[in-house]
Amino acid sequence: MSELPQKVCNWLSEELGWIDPTFTGALSGGNSNLTWRFDAENNACVVRTPPTEAISPNSGRGIEREAKVLAAVEGRAKAPRLYAYCDDLAVIGRAFLVQECIDGVSITDTLPQGYADPIAATNALGIDLVTQLAAVHAITWPDPKLEGLGRPDQFVERQIGRWLQVREQQSFRELPQLFELGRWLLDNIPESEGAVLTHGDYHLDNTLVSTTAPEIKAIIDWELATVGEPAMDVALALLFWGQKRIPNPPGFAHLQAISRKPGVIGRRDLAHEWASLTGRSLEHMDYYMALAAWRLASIVEGAYGLFLQGKVSTSYASSLEHDVPALLLEAEHAAKGDW
Contacts of 45 (CB under 8 A, 6+ apart): 12, 37, 38, 83, 98, 99, 100, 101
From its phi and psi, is residue 93 left (phi > 0), alpha (psi between -120 and 50) or beta? left
CATH number of 3-100: 3.30.200.20
- Which amino acid is located at 192 in the chain? S
Share of the chain above pLDDT 70, in %: 96
For the stretch 161-199, pLDDT in tens is: 999 999 999 999 999 999 999 999 999 999 999 999 999
Secondary structure letter of residue 191 according to DSSP: P
pLDDT average, residue stretch 195-209: 97
Report which of 69, 25, 324, 40 is spatially closest to residue 206, judged by C-alpha positions. 69
Q: What is the mean pLDDT of the chain?
A: 95
Q: What is the pLDDT of residue 186?
A: 98
Cα–Cα distance for residue pair 231/159, rounded to 1 Å: 14
Predicted TM-score (pTM) of this structure: 0.94
Report which of 105, 37, 95 is spatially closest to residue 66, judged by C-alpha positions. 95
Strand partners, 44: 39
- Which amino acid is located at 274 in the chain? W
Q: Where are the domains of the chain?
A: 3-100, 118-335
* Angle ∠(321,327,331) on CA atoms, nearest 5: 150
Cα–Cα distance for residue pair 112/107, rounded to 1 Å: 8
Secondary structure letter of residue 140 according to DSSP: B
Maximal C-alpha separation, the chain: 59
Contact 7, 92 (CB under 8 A): yes
Task: Write phi, then psi, for 45 (nearest 5 degrees).
Answer: -150, 165
For the stretch 51-83, pLDDT in tens is: 865 545 565 788 999 999 999 999 999 999 999
pLDDT average, residue stretch 276-298: 98
Q: What is the pLDDT of residue 59?
A: 59
**Per-residue burial over 266-283, b = 16 or more CB atoms within 10 Å of its CB, e = otherwise:** bbeebbebbbebbebeee
Residue 224: Cβ within 10 Å count = 16
For the stretch 126-167, pLDDT in tens is: 999 999 999 999 999 999 999 999 899 999 999 999 999 999
pLDDT average, residue stretch 82-96: 95
pLDDT average, residue stretch 75-97: 96
Could you please state the CATH topology (level 3) that the domain comprising 118-335 is classified under.
Aminoglycoside 3'-phosphotransferase; Chain: A, domain 2 (3.90.1200)
Cα–Cα distance for residue pair 163/152, rounded to 1 Å: 17
3-state SS, residue 71: helix
Contact 214, 179 (CB under 8 A): no
